Chains A and B, each alone.
Chain A
Amino acid sequence: MSETAAPPVQVTGLTKRYGDTLAVDGVDLTVHPGEVYGFLGPNGAGKTTTLRILTGLIAPTSGSVRVLGGSPGQPQVIARTGSMIESPAFYPYLSGLDNLRVLAEYAEVSRSRIQEVLRLVDLADRARDRFSTYSLGMKQRLGVAAALLKDPELVILDEPTNGLDPAGMRDMRRLIRELGADGRTVLLSSHLLGEVQQICDRVGIINDGRMVAEHNVEELRGQQELVIRAAPLESARSVLNGVLGPDAVHLYDDTLRAKVAPDRAAEVNRLLVEAGIAVSELRNTERELEDVFFELTTSEEEKAHAG
């Protein structure tokens, strides 16, 4: 693998318009060498459109896109990029093996590589079966195998765990981690936030075509919180507001959430008990990526409706 000094993916002000519809609206996105980057967003947010642009399948309306130092779609860029965009698409009348043979001819890679990638995705035993007889999970694994055929520097995977059973998802997580550990750059989109939280170094969140956040996963999840279930709740809130400050405590689902370090849990408990408040639950929690995701992608109106 050759070293790439510039970020493997550098997108600035990317816009894609279909008639009156703005599918992608001024997106900035940077994927650093060797990182596993999660690209998140609700359905229709613009994830797949962005990934299609990165792979040269569609042209942007405006903005700058650099992939591995070149323009998307250039043969020398495609040759170093492996991708699976949307659902895996193969020839239904061919076996999985023959489908990969066809792609190996296009990609000009040796046939010995086919067996390697089939083993990597655990599909060697069913490789001679027709693609049309594959389950959704097997199709997905063949799609990942095809993406890895060229031993690429940059791997772009659109919803790679779609249709996989729990064991398949675990294997896919392991595979993606290994790809990252090998020094490859991985850009994956997903709506399985738990998966992304476990696999990715950084995430970008897109909503309504706009990038609403791009951070390290830990940064995005923010500081830990203390969950407090107590009665009376309002008295508990007053006590904690007095000690921790008014912005440090908020009400959430019949509990209080206090932004304090975990080692202050005992102190909080003592303050509440001394104030005559009954504490029935006190535990540390971290915000899950899912909480952040919904916070960033749900409108106030939807939040009110959900609440």
Chain B
Amino acid sequence: MLGSYRAELLKLRKRSAVWVLFGAGLVLSLIFGYLLPYLGYVTGDENPQTDGIPRSEVLRGLLPERVMDNTIGGFPVFAGALALVLGAIVIGGEYTWGTLKTILTQRPGRGAVLAGQLLGLLTMVAVWVLGIFVASALCSIGIAATESAPMNWPGPLDLLEGLAGGWLVLTMWCLAGAVLAVAFRNVALPIGLGVVWILGIETLLAGVVSSLLPDLEFLSDALPGANAGALVFSVTGMLATDAPPGVRDAVGGERALLTLLGYALAFVALALYTTRRRDIT
């Protein structure tokens, strides 16, 4: 399986689409996490990021002590959608290019090939998370230095918890994209369905349930997006008023963690079952 993993890393490293998606996630994180709030702070104008928040609190939100909020705050929705696209293009591409048959006629079995692919994706997601964290930390340092504000960092355990939580959120969405790609043997359809789910349907369902069908809230609280938001809310410890879209305390942190792990394992199991049993035509 090590050979499959190394092969996957080589493919991922050389694929420009992987870095374009990472770049998009990074730029979105920095624009919504730092640029817009900082512009609001400097100019005193209100924008959606600073609306109704005292200036001192706006600045505080940009300093190193809140770096984890800005690193993973966008993961449940925007970065999650990008991670889903990553999973779909990497796994779906093997079907659309016909390369799956080429690699399955090398040496490893189907399980080992898929395991290598998924481990490669999980590694790439870790690179994304670390990349966004480093960029966010640099922005925080820059703003703190410019504004002569204190440079207090979260504790190492808090940082680790935040990074691991963010990684799990993106991993779950990435695996969702991967399993959809296996199911549809395609790239476009999984992306379409997955992104519509993340950006629209789940929010719509949660809204309908909370306003019209409160008895069914246990169902909406079991959805992947709700748990992704709850985990980020829990590991960052942010205030509900500061929370970006998709981040809320729908369920407790521990339950969110277990639910996301459950989704991730279920997606892997489904992908493995389908890949091992199906004819490659």
Contacts and interface: CB of A to CB of B under 8 A. Distances in A.
Interface string B130-160: 0000000000000000000000000000000
A102 B97 contact: no
A89 B16 contact: no
Interface in A80-134: 81, 83, 85-94, 98, 101-103, 105-108
Contact of A103 (B16, B102, B109, B281): B102
A69 interface: no
B99 A91 contact: yes
Interface in A59-83: 59, 73-75, 78-79, 81, 83
B164 interface: no
Contacts of B6: 105
B106 A94 contact: no
Interface residues of B, number: 28
Given A57-B105, A75-B108, A93-B16, A106 B99 contact: no
Contacts of A86: 98, 101
A146 interface: yes
Nearest to A101: B10
Contacts of A74: 109
A89 B97 contact: yes
Contacts of B10: 98, 101-102, 105
A93 B3 contact: no
B101 A102 contact: no
A77 B109 CA distance: 10
A52 B279 CA distance: 9
Interface residues of A, number: 34
B279 A107 contact: no
Nearest to A88: B102
B107 interface: yes
A106 B16 contact: no
A78 B106 contact: yes
Contacts, number: 90
A103 B113 CA distance: 11
A56 interface: yes
Contacts of B99: 89-91
B189 interface: no
Contact of A150 (B16, B106, B110, B112): B106
Interface string A246-264: 0000000000000000000
Given A94-B11, A101-B10, A106 B3 contact: yes
Nearest to B97: A89
A57 B14 contact: no
A140 interface: no
Contacts of A91: 11, 15, 93, 97, 99
Contacts of B7: 102-103, 105-106
Contact of A94 (B3, B14, B101, B104): B14
A51 to B, nearest CB: 10
B14 A107 contact: no
Given A52-B280, A103-B103, A150-B107, A89 B4 contact: no
A108 B113 CA distance: 13
A58 interface: yes
Interface string B229-266: 00000000000000000000000000000000000000
A161 interface: no
Interface in B87-123: 93, 97-99, 101-110, 112-113
Q: Which of A83, A87, A108 has the most CB of B within 10 A?
A: A108
B105 A85 contact: yes
A106 to B, nearest CB: 4
A185 interface: no
Interface of B: 3-4, 6-7, 10-11, 14-16, 93, 97-99, 101-110, 112-113, 279-281
17 contacts: A52-B279, A52-B280, A56-B105, A57-B104, A73-B110, A78-B107, A85-B105, A88-B102, A89-B98, A105-B4, A105-B7, A106-B4, A106-B7, A106-B108, A106-B113, A107-B3, A108-B3
Given A52-B101, A59-B279, A105-B3, 20 more contacts: A52-B279, A57-B105, A75-B109, A75-B112, A83-B105, A86-B98, A87-B98, A88-B102, A91-B15, A102-B7, A102-B10, A103-B102, A103-B103, A105-B4, A105-B7, A106-B4, A106-B103, A106-B107, A106-B113, A108-B107
